[in-house]
Each structure stands twice: as C-alpha cells, then as structure tokens.
Amino acid sequence: MNFDKEIEEYVNEMTKEYTEELCRMIKIPSVSNDKTKKEELYNILREVERIVKPIGFESEIIETRGGPALIATLKSREEAPWLWIYNHMDVQPAKEPEWKTQPFEPAVEEGRIIGRGSTDDKGPALAVIHAIKFLKSKGLELPNIQLVYETEEEVGSTNFGQFLEENLRSGKLREPRSILVSDTIFSGEWPTISYKLRGVTRAFAKLELAEKEVHSGMAGGAAINPLKVMINALNTCYEGNEVTIPGWKEGVKETSEKELESTKKAAQTINIDTFKKELGLREMSVREEYELLKKLWHEPTFEIHGFEGVQYEPGSIKTAIPRSVTAKITMRTVPGQEVRKLLILLEEHLKKTHEKITVEGDGLPACMTNIENPFIERAQEACKYGFEKEALFVGCGGSIGAVSEMQRIIPQAPVILISQSLLSDGYHAPNEEFRIEQAQKGCKVMAKYISSIAKE
Amino acid sequence: MNFDKEIEEYVNEMTKEYTEELCRMIKIPSVSNDKTKKEELYNILREVERIVKPIGFESEIIETRGGPALIATLKSREEAPWLWIYNHMDVQPAKEPEWKTQPFEPAVEEGRIIGRGSTDDKGPALAVIHAIKFLKSKGLELPNIQLVYETEEEVGSTNFGQFLEENLRSGKLREPRSILVSDTIFSGEWPTISYKLRGVTRAFAKLELAEKEVHSGMAGGAAINPLKVMINALNTCYEGNEVTIPGWKEGVKETSEKELESTKKAAQTINIDTFKKELGLREMSVREEYELLKKLWHEPTFEIHGFEGVQYEPGSIKTAIPRSVTAKITMRTVPGQEVRKLLILLEEHLKKTHEKITVEGDGLPACMTNIENPFIERAQEACKYGFEKEALFVGCGGSIGAVSEMQRIIPQAPVILISQSLLSDGYHAPNEEFRIEQAQKGCKVMAKYISSIAKE
C-alpha cells in the first residue's frame, strides 16, 4: 500500500465524522472542578467507548477515588511492545463572560471547532484515535495499545497515580515500553516535542489573629490586621519575577548547553510581540524571545493569586479588619526542586515576618525526558512528516500532573509529548477552539509515529 | 410631680412595648448596602412614623439622591430652641456565618434583644423616642424637636449633607441650637460623651496589566502579576501600625494636654485584656490602656481590607495570573487631615512602585466638639443621673458621616454624642444585641438631658 496516499485520503474523508464526534464530546460538560458535573465525567468516557469499540478496542470505565478513568486495550501481537496513549477528558470551567458562543454548544466556523475542551484535550485525543483507526483499517502493524484517559487533569490528577498503581498490580494495565501524550501546544507555528515540564507547587499561607473580624472604628490602630502582616511577609518572597526565598534554588539542575541550544533555536521561531499580544499582556519581565523561553522553561516562579478571608466584592469597602487571611500561592518549579522542601522553606521564610503564619500545600514535581532515545527520533520524523516542519525540542512552562505520575511509577518508559494545539487556540480561555487542519495533520503525525514504533 | 419616681415607673412599664417595637424594627432588613433592599429603607421609616405620630410628631419621609430620610417635628413653643435628634435606621449586612439566631428574626433572651440593628442604631433611637414620649405625657417642658433620621449611615451618609442643605433652605428643617446623637459606644462600663471622632478615607488602588488573565503555565515568569506589584507597593505604606506615606501627618493638630488628661482618665476605666477578649483579638499593637486609647482616638490608621479581581474562593487555586487588581484601603484620620490630600499623597506614593497604579476614593473628615459649652455640662449631669456613673469625655475611633456633615453645615450648633451601646453589643458583628437595661437607663438619661435643655 501507499501509506502517504492512503493517509492523505483518510484525513480528508474523516472531516465530517471527526467534526461530529468532537462536537458530541464538547456537548458533554465534563468540568472536573464542578462537583455537580460528576456524572458528565462518566458520560464523556461512555462517549469515548462508543467511538473506540468499533475500532476493536476492549474498554472499561474504572472508578478512582476521584473522577472515573478509562482503559481501552487494542492488542495486536503477543510479542509487540505496549504503548500507553494518555489523554484527559475533563475540561476547565467556562464561565468567562467573553464567550461569544455557548461553550458547550460547539460552533463550527471556517474550519475551526469552537467550544470548551476542543483543543484541551478532546480534539487532539480524537485525532490520535483516528490515527489508530486508519492503521487498523489498513492492516498496518501496530504496537499493543492502551488508551489511558483520566478525568481529573484540570484539578491536578490527584488520584491518577494511585489508579495506575492499582491497575498495574491487577493486570488491567500492562507495563508500557513508552507513553504518548498529546496535550501540549505548538511553539508559534512549529510542531514541538516537549521534553521538560515545569512542576507546580500550590501553597496556602494562613495567618489568623482574631476570633472575629473587628470594626476599624473600634480597634483600628490597636488591632493587628493579618492582611497587612501577610503582605509584609509575601513582599519578602520575590523581587520582580525573581524568587528571593533563601535556599529556593538549592538542588536545581543547571540547564545544559544542549538544552539552551534547543531553546535558542525555538526562540527564533516565535515573536515576542505576537506572544504578548495573543496573551493580552501589556507588560512583561523580558524583552526578547530567548530570554522569554528561558524564563518559561528553565526558571521557577512565585505567583500570588489571591486571598481567602478578605473582601473581594466589587466597588464596596466594609471598614472591617479581617480575622484570618489565607494567601493563595503557586510556584512553577524546575527539575531538582521538591514540593515538600519548597513548602517547608516557604513556611520558614514567612514565619520570619510572623511566627503564626502556617503553610499547607501540595504539588507536582517537574518532569524531564532524556532527549537521546529512539522514540524521540521517531517522533521528530513523524512531526516532520505530518506537520511538514521540523519539530522543536521544547520545554513547557506548565505542568501535567499525569506526566509527573507516569514518570514516577514507570521511570523506564520515555514519555513522548507531541503537540497538536496552537498557541492561539485558547487553552483555559474563552472561545477555545481546535482547527480541523490541525486534527488532520495531527492524525498523520500520530499514524506515522505509532506505526514507526510498532516494534519498539 | 416627682421626676425621679415617674421616670423610674415609666422605664419599668415601657419594657414590653419597647421590646415589641424594637423587634418590629429589627424585622425590617434595612440593609443600605444591598440595592435589592431599597424598599425596606422606606418600610423602616414608616415603622418609625407609626411609633412617633401618636406622641404628637408631624412627620414626613423625604427622598434623597440615596436612601430616604425622615423629618419628624414636635413643636412645643414658638420661642423654644430647636433641637435635632439624629439617628440612622439603616443597618449593616448580616451574612456572617457566626449568627446563632436569624439576624432579622429578633430573639429576646435574658434581657437582651438580639438581631441586626438592635444596638446600631435602632435600639438607642427608640430609647430617645420613649424619653420624649415620657416628657410629653407628663406635660414637662420640651425644646422644639426634630427627629432627623437617615438610611445611609452604614454606606457613608453620602447624600445626607445635601439633604440637610435642601431642607434647611425649604424650611422643613429648622436651624438647631444643638444636636443630639446617640450612636456611640460605652467605654468599658462607663457612659461617654464623645467630643472627637476620627474621619475615614476610603481608597481603591487599581493596577491593570493585561487584557485578560493568563495561565501561569503559559506565561508565568514572563507575565507581570499585578497582585505581586500591588503587594510591593502597599508594603511601603506602613510599618506595623504606623503609616509611612511621606507627608501623611502634615497639618495634623496636636492632641492638647487637656485631651490627653481626659484620655488618661478614660484609660483608668477600661481594661485592655477585657477589650482584647471582647473583640476577640489575639494580638494587639499596644500593651496598656492609655496607649490603646491614644491609638484609637488620636492617631490615624492604614488598613487593607481586600482586593478585587483576585481569587477568593475557599480551598482552591486556579493557576491564573490576574489581569487587574484593586486594593481596598481605608484610613482613619484625625483633625487636620484632608480626604482629597490623602488620596493624592497615596496615589503619588504608590506610583513610585508602578506608575500605572491609580487611586480613587472618598471620605469624611474627622470631627471635634469644643468640650467647654453648656450642652456638654447638661449631658454630663444627665449621664450621671441615668447611668449612675460619671460620664467620660472620649474620642471615638470610628466616624459618623452625618456628624461630619452636620458640623460642616451648622458649625455653630454643638453636636452632643451620648452613648447607650455597650462595647460587648457587637457593632457591625454577628449576634448584635441591645440590653433592655441599657434602653431603660438610656431613656432616663435622654429624658433628663432633653428636659434640661428645653430653654437652651
């Protein structure tokens, strides 16, 4: 058979079916941080089953301590290596007033499918399924495949590790030779293979100084305002976008020359002004592309997102001094930083301002895949084949909890992250979209890649 | 007649009626900062009319640009001086989860009436009405009285000044010789005459750095977080409870020796540990009573109450960097500080950290009544008579917008503030209460005072 011709035909013919399937998936509001939507997490996995069973997958929806997960297995040959394909079927909330269409009533406009979850991560997942469908229908060689889909990615994949461990023990999951993930984003116009993900540590820093809030007319000047103290304390944690907590960068692995070279190469493909404009930023801490990517991929952050226990209502002020405040902090981290240690360092540091400040939190470590392995080479070839452009080796400023967990549990299996989403698709934003052209190219890449590792 | 015997009888016999009337008033949720409750502001004034008309008052509810106000007039003799009695009929919101009873379903327990507005300011107002009812029913001499009740005190009495000016012009309000206000609080166990009120300046400090919020995985480290910048800026405004904004204390009138003497005297009547315990404070910036009162009465403050545009939801963190934040700040001020000037100083100072920070706000100046005048003497005698204790001359850490406005518009009329509420009543707090014993004693004080100034 002529692979090139057949896949070209397949991706052109799949458009209608792909669009209908993705629209049906978007219509299921599988918002994992909304407890009232729990049933929708089951509904979306049932929808996936309806799509993959006809291809030949045997599938099962499995309860976890959190949202349900799906394992769908397509066995080719006893001796073939196992491949896990990870995606997530939950989505971000979609309450932003900026939505022009209903987020869960998909709109199809000029080759784009618009709706919550279109690009994160339902559309890319569906493109991979079609790649397998193509290979299967043409009788091409396949590895043994397990789709491993979860529904808690947007809330940190808290129970995913335990789910993996339990199902590896029970034999429902087979230990994979490698793992394929398609939940990352193009760098500008270029396909990317992500080899490094920042981790994230979430911290709640709390200070309680009174039994109840107190009227500032009655005690203002004598009462101690915990929000003012917390502000003093937080102010010592950073200077601009540098983290100034003592010991913060201890143990951090230095970025290698090879990594910096890839970063420099990637920097040439993006434009800082476009980046700034697309994200709607009026100011940035960096002025040029290489500096930008170094910040995003290789450096830790310290962000304050808000406070519990204080006033937030627009336009009004009550002259009450809060009794207790809790600062919401996240820190993006790099390889070598440990969640537990960072939480302890942060608490110790904040306590220097007020000894009653306590810190609780959790997080995910940063991840890194060794660039020099055959799967990365195959992925590069596949990207070039499908997207018609050289893939860049990139870092990722964000974190994928599931990747951290897979790396922890099966450290010997390389995790290969191939992007299908574009920067302009609107991850976690209103008017999220996925381009059908990306799905077609993505399908070609995935077919090429999966076929090329049928024996690895 | 025997005044002492008659008033003693009256206050004992009024208990049932007083309780019923106050409960009816509390049941009307006249929350001025809730726009959906606008009609309740009319309802509470109609309720007042039902109580005062049988006494002989002619009354009218008057529209202002904000909430309605009531003028109720009881004329005794042409040549008698006019007395204004100011109270407010609006109340604070009551959404605190700590309420043990329904805030607008009054509970009567062991001589206390519990509900929102019981002590601030419906209960004290009603005690004054009963004092007038007593005097009238016994045919005792009275000044010409106008009850001037507003419904915007808890939102800063923004329209009260204009209301006074218009109704003085139209003749509905008669220029008073003096003004009686009962909206202040006992100092510990002692009745008080407040001669000095701090002002309050409210400021919204805003910084907007992006068109939309941005995912910290996508831009964290490159994007500039306006909450972090605002925290840097706010941190430079204070050290502990001292305000460190340059020029802040310029123009402040020094506290006189005589004032400090009164303060020292008042300090002997309170206990700092009781104060701390009753307000539920675990820490304070001061260690002894005199220091405490100097802080509360004679020194300005800088409080941060919260932020608009940031995350506040309990227990969760979204890894999004806010696009815009607005800090909610109030400053208690002392005589000599001007609202406009303070807002300009604050903006200039915050701009040193980031030039895009802007400040908007408003406020009320501090107030001071000359201690040496006959009304103050009569008030002292009346307090001793009713509360059986020497009244203290005190400052007040809080602000009463209406007092500022009355002082501005009729500077020649002394404003006499006599407390009925106890520190433990819970002003602006959950489980607000008013003791019937305080109403009875308050009624005696007010009857004595009003009767004693019938010719002044």
Q: ipTM value of the model?
A: 0.81
Residue B406 has pLDDT above 80, yes or no: yes
The one-letter amino acid code at A64 reads: T
Q: What is the pLDDT of residues B151-201, one digit of tens each?
A: 999 988 889 999 999 999 999 999 999 999 999 888 778 899 999 999 999
pLDDT band at residue A351 using 50, 70 and 90 as cut-offs: very high
pLDDT band at residue B398 using 50, 70 and 90 as cut-offs: confident
B119 CA to chain A: closest CA distance, Å? 14
Cis peptide before B4 (omega within 30 of 0): no
Q: What is the pLDDT of residues A400-448, one digit of tens each?
A: 889 999 998 999 999 999 999 998 898 888 999 999 999 999 999 999 9
Cα–Cα distance measured from residue B386 to residue A214, given in angstroms and rounded to the nearest whole number = 29
Q: What is the pLDDT of residues B106-122, one digit of tens each?
A: 999 999 999 999 999 99
A220 interaction partners in chain B (CB closer than 8 Å):
296, 301, 303, 332, 397
Interface probe, candidates A121, A152, A202, A216, chain B, greatest B C-beta count within 10 A: A216
Inter-chain contact B227–A306, Cβ cutoff 8 Å?
Answer: yes
Inter-chain contact A212–B305, Cβ cutoff 8 Å?
Answer: no
Residue B337, pLDDT score = 94
Of B224, B306, B307, which is closest to A284 when you measure between CB atoms?
Answer: B224
The pair phi, psi for residue A409, each rounded to 5°, is -85, -35
Q: What tokens were used for A401?
A: 């909890």
B333 CA to chain A: closest CA distance, Å? 10
Share of chain B above pLDDT 70, in %: 100
The one-letter amino acid code at A444 reads: K
Query: Which bin fits A182, alpha (ψ -120 to 50), beta or left (φ > 0)?
Result: beta
Residue A370, pLDDT score = 81
Residue A185, pLDDT score = 87
Which residue shows structure tokens 């193009």? A186
Residue A187 has pLDDT above 80, yes or no: no
Q: What is the pTM of this model?
A: 0.80
Q: What is the pLDDT of residues B87-109, one digit of tens each?
A: 999 999 999 999 999 999 999 99
A332 interaction partners in chain B (CB closer than 8 Å):
216-217, 220-221
- Kindly write down the DSSP assignment for every residue of A365-394, as one continuous string: --EE--S-SHHHHHHHHHHHHHHSSPPEEE
Residue A110, pLDDT score = 94
* Residue of B148, B205, B45 lying closest to B400 (CA atoms): B148
Inter-chain contact B284–A222, Cβ cutoff 8 Å?
Answer: yes
DSSP state of B220: B
Mean pLDDT, rounded, for A125-152:
97
Which CA distances in Å does A22 have to A31, A101, A112, A152, A305?
A: 16, 16, 11, 19, 33
Q: What tokens were used for A358?
A: 């306590």
**Number of cross-chain residue pairs from A and B with Cβ atoms under 8 Å apart:** 264
Cα–Cα distance measured from residue A394 to residue B140, given in angstroms and rounded to the nearest whole number = 91
* Residue of B123, B384, B146, B156 lying closest to A316 (CA atoms): B156
Share of chain A above pLDDT 70, in %: 100
Residue A222: CB partners within 8 Å, gap ≥ 6?
B241, B275, B281, B284, B285, B286, B292, B295, B296
Asked whether A41 and A68 are in contact (CB, 8 A), the reply is yes
> Would you say how long chain B is, in residues?
456
Asked whether B114 and B127 are in contact (CB, 8 A), the reply is no
Q: What tokens were used for A34?
A: 């909304």
Residue B364, pLDDT score = 87
- CB burial of A259-272 (b: ≥16 within 10 Å; e: otherwise) equals beebbebbbebbeb
B93 interaction partners in chain A (CB closer than 8 Å):
318
**Minimum Cα–Cα distance from B308: chain A residue:** A312
Q: What is the pLDDT of residues A27-67, one digit of tens each?
A: 999 999 999 999 999 999 999 999 999 999 999 999 999 99
Mean pLDDT, rounded, for A184-191:
84
B5 CA to chain A: closest CA distance, Å? 36
**Minimum Cα–Cα distance from B289: chain A residue:** A222
Which residue shows structure tokens 């981790």? A199
Inter-chain contact B279–A224, Cβ cutoff 8 Å?
Answer: no
Residue A237, pLDDT score = 97
Residue A62: CB partners within 8 Å, gap ≥ 6?
A68, A69, A70, A71, A163, A167, A172
Q: What is the pLDDT of residues A72-107, one digit of tens each?
A: 999 999 999 999 999 999 999 999 989 999 999 999
Residue B85: CB partners within 8 Å, gap ≥ 6?
B128, B145, B146, B147, B148, B179, B180, B181, B182
Share of chain A above pLDDT 90, in %: 86
Of residues A305 and A185, more confidently modeled? A305
Inter-chain contact A306–B330, Cβ cutoff 8 Å?
Answer: no
Residue A182: CB partners within 8 Å, gap ≥ 6?
A85, A87, A121, A124, A125, A127, A128, A417, A418, A419, A420, A442, A446
Mean pLDDT, rounded, for A339-367:
96
Average pLDDT over chain A, rounded to whole? Answer: 95
B181 CA to chain A: closest CA distance, Å? 17
- CB burial of B290-323 (b: ≥16 within 10 Å; e: otherwise) equals bebbbbbbbbbbbbbbbbbbbbbeeeebbbbbbb
Of B299, B328, B427, which is closest to A215 when you measure between CB atoms?
Answer: B427
Residue B311 has pLDDT above 90, yes or no: yes
- Kindly write down the DSSP assignment for every residue of B179-204, as one continuous string: EEE---B-BTTB-EEEEEE-EEEEEE
A424 interaction partners in chain B (CB closer than 8 Å):
none
A233 CA to chain B: closest CA distance, Å? 9
Residue A269, pLDDT score = 87
Q: What is the pLDDT of residues B35-74, one digit of tens each?
A: 999 999 999 999 999 999 999 999 999 999 999 999 999 9
Of residues A63 and A185, more confidently modeled? A63
B211 CA to chain A: closest CA distance, Å? 5
Residue B456, pLDDT score = 77
The one-letter amino acid code at B365 reads: P
